[in-house]
Structure 1
Amino acid sequence: MLKYGLLLNELEALIKSHPYKEGDKLPSIRTLSEQYGYSKSTVIKAMDELEKRHRIYSIPKSGYYVVKRTVNVEQEEPTQIDFAGAAPDSEIFPYLDFQHCINKAIDTYKNDLFVYGTSKGLPSLIQVVHKQLANYQIFTSQSRLFIVSGVQQALSILTSLPFPNRKQTILIEQPSYHLFIEHLTTHQIPVIGITRTAQGIDLQELETLFRTADIKFFYTMPRFQNPLGNSYSKEDKIAIVELARKYDVYIVEDDYLADLEQDTKADPLYAYDTTEHVIYLKSYSKIIFPGLRIGIAVIPEVLSDLFNRYKRLLDIDSSMLSQGALEIYLKSGMFERHKQHISSSYGQRARLLADMLQRLCDLHPGLFTFTQAKQPCIHTHIVLNPSISVSRLAAQLKPHSVIIEAIDKHFLPHFPKAPILKLNVSNVKDSAIEQGIGTIVKCLAIATKA
């Protein structure tokens, strides 16, 4: 990231955390330069950017001042503590950045907006994404890259395609992504499940299913699984890829939270694939915003022509405006800056949530079980006593303004449902995590005694 981008993050954090009042004067350029060790020109560039974002304003020959906010979010107490919502935090969305990118895209691609694009995606965006994917250990040719209207579209196409292995059944982790489950059941696609827990997956069971069950592809989220929040170990990833090669089963890897990874050694399944059995999917929804509807699919050469044909018949192309804006957002360095910002914010919440759950689990043995992941995720889960009804618990928590929901929709209709409570803090402030989890545990204690 550029120096001024790093400084920008530091100054925004200073404005947010320091008890500045609207109209308070910020330290001088010289003071900030000495404090952070950057040149005055870098500080000035960062301050100019903050002024464009309406965080501060300048008065000639006087200095920089904090902008008056119409709503002082930091001082407001949340009316609800929502552990059910999974959308990105709207308060850390880079509105002004992306507004600039949309305006720039309209100006840059104004002629392209009046014609249909290519089904593969905007060529210039594919070039940018191709370079970015290398940072995730995804090395491929541009011919295998497709821009899709969200990961859901890619999953829909892959489900419909005939695969070279001529198999029919989809294997999916249980629990898993509820909208894909709904797609499979609505279209009556042959599907079976395999249990995934905080400890991972039973590799012997996976091998048995690969060998005997006519598996077309195995849909998995190796990193920060939804709804569990845990990740596969390197050893499990290598073993899964090897089983796929051995039994000619494709793997559809949904790496939707790749941008929140802190472990530089945590590679995707794709990195261990030498026989083109892994199909890699990546989304920008969780780190930018869901309405962008842009995803990336890395398709094996043997499937790329057919995938392209199915996609063209489905929607001709993905939104040119969204693609153009995303390209500018990635090329400008804005994405890297936002990624650092959101990773820091989410990482802090994830650690607070995990530490709180571990502490209360130790204090209340037998009330619930919690397995802390090697790297805490923005969402996680606890395993409840089977006698506890999550829907009844949700009703008991509602008067306390704590929102949870059952995860039955994350299971196939006839698959045994584990007594799991998912907890997502992407929209829960740091100060509310302890309060909300404490309230949940109190209600659990009451329900257990009843």
Structure 2
Amino acid sequence: MKKYNSILSDIENRIREGRYTPGQKLPSVRIAAEHYGCSISTVTKAYAELEKHHVIYSVPQSGFYVVEKPGDWRDKRDSRLIDFATVLPDLDAFPYLDFQHCLNKAIDIYKYDLFTYGEPQGLESFRHTLVSHLANDQVFTRAERIFITSGAQQALEILARMPFPSGRTDILVEQPGYDRYLRFLEMEGIPVQGIARTTAGIDLQELETRFRSGRIKMFYTMPRYHNPLGTSYSLEERKAIAKLAIKYDVYVIEDDYMADLGAEHQFDPIYACDGSSHVIYVKSFSKIIFPGLRLGALVLPERLLKTFYSYKIYPDTSLLSQAALEVYIKNGMYERHKHRISSLYALRMRALREAVGRYHEPGLMEIPDIRAGIYTHFKLKAAVNIERLLKRLSERDVNVSTSKGYYLTDYIEREKFLRLSVSQASSEQIDEGVKIIVEEVRRGNW
């Protein structure tokens, strides 16, 4: 099954990146089997799957060809733009036909449930499905402790507003950190403190000092593929954070929003180190499936269940979306799509590393060696005028985001960096974009 999935992913990536063009004939089944080192039946099965999803078509006595797609969405966008700023998944990687099938199936299965308002906690059968789904990420729990929310953002907002057993009020956030959540906390007037996170990680002594202060009710962190840095905590750091949370009765919100892009690497979340007493595990499906589904899931410690339920009193999460995603997970489509999109982003991150090795010069910027996820960052020297750099890059059709929005308004110890996302940039665009960034930084004249 692993070989079959890798063949599917490779062919789809070749089509997406233009190495197999519309109308082009694919290698024969026999030649493909020799290339991939597998049986003819495995390639035949892969080709049949691609044909079923209208990616390729067969011509009797001739072979298989790439489907032409007139009016493709890419024809409507500016082909010159190298977009390193967007975080939306690649539209070409969306499983439209698969998910359409699951929507229709969900309507048939749950036709009576869809006429009700449902439960605030989420569709019960879907929560039971998530028990085994989350276990794949070393998050072991019961359905009673799972809540389904309208995206991960809703879960984070409820947690910020609700009281915690300790009676404390402050939220500790990494700096830099998730920009939308920072703006929400500031707009709502919720007491918030920042703690520095860098490529090297976090100062655990400083974290313990903050926890010991008696003011922190919860610590919000992205241990895997941090946004905007792209880095991940080491196992030792994750274990230490879990230990400190228990010691000082501080809850940790573990935003594992890109868990599905780390399937190829052993990564036990903080939740697995904690025993589930002080870690709130939050998962989003927007980076792997359609962002428009607005579905998130969180696993809560026992002590927080009643309070969270009282704050999420309304069943405002789409039952149809929950039911369709349940079908999508149960029939194995989710795992196949996860493998496909993980392979796609891995290729793009490799292209980025290779471009850095090709164009970057020692001492020009600090660039971490990130091998997975969709983000990285280029740390700039203090003398760089970041607004002027942005203008120059824009004039050369390169779009990036900067460090500015990823800090609390009053946080002083900021670093200057460019955040790059590879979610919608091809390998060729990545190479050209990195080259342009290096050229403009080297140019100076700030």
Pairwise same-fold verdict (TM > 0.5): yes
Q: What does residue 376 of structure 2 align with?
A: 380
CA contact (8 A) 1:120 1:317 kept: no
Structure 1 partner of 2:318: 319
Q: State whether residues 253 and 279 of structure 1, in contact with CA within 8 Å, keep that contact through their aligned partners in structure 2.
A: yes
Structure 1 match to 2:169: 168
Give 1:342's aligned residue.
341
User: What residue in structure 1 maps to residue 419 of structure 2?
Assistant: 422
2:307 maps to which residue? 306
Instruction: Specify the code of the residue in structure 2 equivalent to 1:441.
Output: V
Identity of paired residues, percent? Answer: 48
Distance apart, 1:210 and its partner CA: 0.5
- The structure-2 alpha-carbon separation of the partners of 1:9 and 1:444, relative to structure 1 and needing over 3 Å to count, comes to closer
Task: List alignment gaps of at least 5 residues for structure 2.
Answer: none
Report the Cα offset of residue 263 of structure 1.
5.2
From 393, 402, 409, the equivalent of 2:405 is 409
Displacement of 1:178 in angstroms is 0.8
Q: CA deviation at 1:148?
A: 1.1
Alignment RMSD (CA, Å): 2.6
Matches of 2:269 and 2:19, distance apart in 1: 42
Corresponding residue of 1:12: 12
Write the letter of the residue equivalent to 1:161. M
Q: Which residue of 2 aligns with 1:189?
A: 190
Q: What's the counterpart of residue 112 of structure 1?
A: 113
Residue identity opposite 1:324 in structure 2: A
Quote the residue 1:444 is aligned against: 441
Stretches of 4+ aligned residues off by more than 6 angstroms: 72-77
In the alignment, structure 1 residue 329 sits paired with structure 2 residue 325:
no
TM-score normalised to structure 1 length: 0.91
Counterparts in 2 of 1:5 and 1:350: CA distance versus 1, 3 Å: closer
The DSSP-based 3-state class of the residue aligned with 1:222 is coil
Counterpart in the other structure of 2:81: 80
Preserved contact between residue 171 and residue 191 of structure 1 (Cα < 8 Å): yes
Give the whole-Å Cα distance in 1 for the aligned partners of 2:236 and 2:259: 19
Structure 2: distance between partners of 1:18 and 1:159:
45
Residue type matched to 1:386 in 2? A
State the shift of 1:371 in Å.
2.6
The match for 2:222 is 221
Counterpart Cα distance in 2 of 1:47 and 1:424:
31
3-state SS of 2:220 partner:
strand
Pick one of 426, 435, 443 that aligns with 2:432: 435
Q: Deviations over 1:258-305 (max 9, x none)?
A: 111155432100001036000000111011121111111000111112
Partner residue in 2 for 1:91 = 92
Query: Are 2:265 and 1:297 equivalent residues in the alignment?
Result: no
Matches of 1:308 and 1:141, distance apart in 2: 16
Amino acid at match of 2:345: Y
**1:142-161 equivalence runs, <5 A:** 142-161=143-162
The aligned residue for residue 394 of structure 1 is 390
1:242-281 to structure 2, matched below 5 A, reads: 242-262=243-263, 264-274=265-275, 276-281=277-282
Question: What is the TM-score with the length of structure 2 in the denominator?
Answer: 0.91
Partner AA of 1:335 in structure 2:
Y
Equivalents in 1 of 2:404, 2:16: separation in Å? 39
- Does 2:367 correspond to 1:370? yes
The change in CA–CA distance for 1:234 and 1:262 in structure 2 (over 3 A counts) is same
Q: Distance in 2 between matches of 1:91 and 1:47?
A: 18
Which deviates further from its counterpart, 63-72 or 88-97? 63-72
List alignment gaps of at least 5 residues for structure 1: none
Alignment length (residue pairs): 443
SS of the equivalent of 1:368 reads: coil
CA distance 1:336–1:212, change in 2 (3 Å): same
What SS does the aligned partner of 1:369 have?
coil
Give 1:50 shift. 2.1
Distance 1:169 1:20, change over 3 A: closer
Once residues 430 and 10 of structure 1 are traced to their aligned partners in structure 2, the CA distance between those partners, rounded to angstroms, is 14
SS in 2 for 1:86: coil
